[in-house]
Chain A
Amino acid sequence: QVHLMQSGAEVKKPGASVKVSCKTSGYTFTTYALHWVRQAPGQRPEWMGWILPNNGNTKYSQNFQGRVTITRDTSATTAYMELSRLRSEDTAIYYCARSWFGDFSFDYWGQGTLVTVSS
């Protein structure tokens, strides 16, 4: 069965970077896009970007352009999201989610990774 397993909770200081992983299993890694969506406390979910694992192409939300980098390791069937220059407003649960290429309906999600930014 399809499974997206994310790395554990992180606590970071303002200005630092965080890298969250999303290990996939149960399907062919290169045939679906992987997205990152975050949800800050009390806020609506916010789409951050996607990666096409077959070729590594990425697309980022303008809200995170320049601060977010999404990568993948096809041999490990794992995607990564790195967010730099962290500030307190980046405290949120970060999710990876799967979709068909070119689609934005997310049929499987990871369990979420809490990232806390605090001095």
Chain B
Amino acid sequence: QSALTQPPSASGSPGQSVTISCTGTSSDIGGYNSVCWYQHHPGKAPKLIMLEVSRRPSGVPDRFSGSKSGNTASLTVSGLQAEDEAEYYCSSYGGSNNVIFGGGTKLTVL
């Protein structure tokens, strides 16, 4: 299975918007609407912030939005806040009862 590709870092000032990409193939992201995004603060449990490409779990602010085009999924964080600074991981169903992850993007709020 191939892995998902994310940029290692992203940044923005408070109030700005930032978009993080996650690129896969037609065998994973392009083949299923099963993309998730997780927010991970060091030392804490990862938190699901997006599922099924663009569905926010209860309690996740609408500043977070997701989309997909072809083999690339994207997470947009609008109105950046200091607490958004974290590592963000994408995942996708990869077929054959398996899931694959991206390498993570460190989001810095300047």
Contact = CB atoms under 8 A, between A and B. Distances in A.
Contact of A45 (B34, B44, B89): B89
Interface residues of B, number: 24
A67 interface: no
Interface in A79-112: 95, 97, 104-112
Nearest to B6: A44
Could you say which interface size class chain A belongs to?
A: 10 to 19
A105 B45 contact: no
B48 A59 contact: no
B31 interface: no
A47 B48 contact: no
Contact of A105 (B51, B101, B104): B51
Given A105-B52, A111-B45, A44 B89 contact: yes
Interface of A: 4, 43-47, 59, 61, 95, 97, 104-112
